[in-house]
Structure 1
Amino acid sequence: MIKMVVCDLDGTLLDKNKELLEENVEVLKTVQENGVVLVLATGRNMVGLEHIYSKLGMDTYNNGYLVTVNGLQRYRFSDKQVIINEGLTRADVTVVKQAAAKLGYIAFAFHDNASYISGGRMIHWIMNNSFLQKRLLSSGYDGRLPSPRFSPYEESFDGVTKMCVQCPTFFLTNSKKVRSLLKDYSVMTVSPGWYEIMPHGINKSDGVKSIMEELAIDPEEVLIFGDSENDLEMLKLTPNSYAMDNAMDMIKEVANHTISSHNQPGIGQVILEQIKEIR
């Protein structure tokens, strides 16, 4: 019997326009009504997720969880408890900035309410211009930075939850070079030229696993859906793992099943097949 459903957001539960498909919304509401635990596991932080979890009814059913910043933070709706692991230090920020500079990449430092962008005022101007973003930057960034600002980081070293490095299209290099410069960190490819940098050992699977243990849910009782490298470890937690058709090849190799792309309601269809008693 399925007791928990875990969904990544970008490239998985959200379509190409970063919207929820109504068919999936209805199914996910129905399973929550029937006591199934819904977990959203994302690289995003909690700021800006309210329109997503509210549409899914998670703040109404109050039995779900958020695993955010690739497992660095966890939120429980039942008692509004936030659990936060240690983020990146000042020294870490400096290391990532230096690696990005060597590659000719842009570095981002993420805080709960703001993002700081390296690379000078020209880069800052590009990052605030959606037309230029789409033409000059690799495909990973889509305008989701919370309150982006230019900064040399001096006023904001502390409290960094994660960092990202992204290339201008003309500087695109292979991931081996990025990983060699940042070998002491968890480096996760989101898309070509877009990498999320986390403290070593932090990933979504830790947050999902802790929820399973807290609720005494077995691996066979969980459905997990994902598409990118930051979903890889959590997909290994259950035999009921699903890669989207638009997923990276490494994800399709790890997942036990591949379903339709994030632009189609494949998640809802799988859930209906697996949880027949809600029909």
Structure 2
Amino acid sequence: MIKQIFSDMDGTILNGSGEINTKTADFLKEYPIPLTLVSARAPMEMEFAIDELGLTGPQIAFNSGLIFEKSAHGITKLLSHPIPHDLAINIIDFIKKEFPKATISWYTANSWNVFEFNEDVDYQVRLTKRKYHLQTEIGKEDIYKIMILDVKEKITRPLTAALRKNFPNLVNTKTTGPKYCEITSCKAIKSSGIRYIQKMRNLQKEELIAFGDGENDLEMLKEVGVSVAMENAVNEVKEIATMVTDSNEEDGLVTALSKIGPSQ
């Protein structure tokens, strides 16, 4: 019997406009099984979905770099794995030197920070509907994610390869689609967030279901009893999934959960 749902956000529960389809939202609000969002996004970029779906339990941000609960008073951190500060600065300096045209963002628990406004930042603003903070230097707050935006899709792959070569085993460097390279703590792996909530709720692997579409969902999908790939997922995700459902534009979560049923 399924007792816990985990879902990626972009490309999975969200459509291409960064919103939840009305059919999916209505279905999930009435579905009798707890849902945890598991995302590379920051908590502030997840809030609209948490509120729209009426979620009350723990949620997973920054690929498990931060597990939190949202309330009227803000967020409560349950588990926190920021990037070591000196390492984060070294990575940003490396990107500036080797990829001078890269658009660099970094996230604290409560803010999205950029060095300049350009078409990449504008794209992200329109997608997430969040405000950015222009900075001239990096502050002392914990950094949970460094993100490289590449709307023209020219440097994501070579930059990701360079980071993996020069900072092996020190951070997790993932592509989340052709426009994004995202760097998080080496402890920030989606599967670790799944295990945290599994232990907290005393659940078995076969009682867990997860939905995903991208490279950074692979570890999560291997951690659950039923793994579901979206039709729009990359081939690597489809190859390891228990089943493939409709795309994020076609309410794929609704299709799969309707077939499986809450009593499976």
TM-score grouping bracket, smaller chain normalisation: 0.7 to 0.9
1:50 Cα shift?
Answer: 2.7
Counterpart in the other structure of 2:145: 162
**Structure label with greater radius of gyration:** 1
**Structure 2: stretches of 5+ with no match in the other structure:** none
1:250 Cα shift?
Answer: 2.0
Give the secondary-structure state (helix, strand or coil) at the position aligned to 2:211. Answer: strand
Give the secondary-structure state (helix, strand or coil) at the position aligned to 2:44. Answer: coil
**Is 1:244 matched with 2:207?**
no
TM-score, structure 2 length as denominator?
0.86
**Is 1:274 matched with 2:254?**
no
Q: Distance in 1 between matches of 2:206 and 2:152?
A: 42
Q: Distance in 2 between matches of 1:268 and 1:115?
A: 32
**Is 1:259 matched with 2:245?**
yes
Aligned letter for 2:193?
Answer: G
Q: Distance in 2 between matches of 1:230 and 1:162?
A: 14
Q: Residue 125 and residue 107 in structure 1: after superposition, are their counterparts in 2 closer, same or farther (change >3 A)? A: closer
1:219 Cα shift?
Answer: 1.2
1:69 Cα shift?
Answer: 1.4
Q: Distance in 1 between matches of 2:27 and 2:146?
A: 34
1:123-152 superposed Cα distances (whole Å, 9 cap, x missing partner): 424455x4xx4xxxxxx8864384323323
Count of aligned pairs between the two proteins: 257
**Is 1:17 matched with 2:46?**
no
Tell whether the 8 Å contact from 2:65 to 2:82 is kept in structure 1 after alignment.
Answer: yes
TM-score, structure 1 length as denominator?
0.82
Q: Residue 142 and residue 242 in structure 1: after superposition, are their counterparts in 2 closer, same or farther (change >3 A)? A: farther
Tell whether the 8 Å contact from 2:65 to 2:81 is kept in structure 1 after alignment.
Answer: yes
Give the secondary-structure state (helix, strand or coil) at the position aligned to 2:256. Answer: helix
**Structure 1: stretches of 5+ with no match in the other structure:** 134-139
Give the secondary-structure state (helix, strand or coil) at the position aligned to 2:117. Answer: helix
Tell whether the 8 Å contact from 1:67 to 1:75 is kept in structure 2 after alignment.
Answer: yes
Identity rate, percent: 21
Counterpart in the other structure of 2:99: 103
Counterpart in the other structure of 2:79: 84
1:168 Cα shift?
Answer: 6.1
2:63 to 47, 70, 85: 70
Tell whether the 8 Å contact from 1:113 to 1:146 is kept in structure 2 after alignment.
Answer: no
Q: Distance in 1 between matches of 2:243 and 2:224?
A: 11
1:57-112 superposed Cα distances (whole Å, 9 cap, x missing partner): 22xxx4x321111101212469x742132312331222221232202322211123
Tell whether the 8 Å contact from 2:208 to 2:224 is kept in structure 1 after alignment.
Answer: yes
Tell whether the 8 Å contact from 1:243 to 1:251 is kept in structure 2 after alignment.
Answer: yes
Give the secondary-structure state (helix, strand or coil) at the position aligned to 1:124. Answer: coil
Counterpart in the other structure of 1:6: 6
Q: Distance in 2 between matches of 1:77 and 1:148?
A: 21
Counterpart in the other structure of 2:53: 56
1:262 Cα shift?
Answer: 0.5
Tell whether the 8 Å contact from 1:96 to 1:107 is kept in structure 2 after alignment.
Answer: no
RMSD of aligned Cα (Å): 2.6
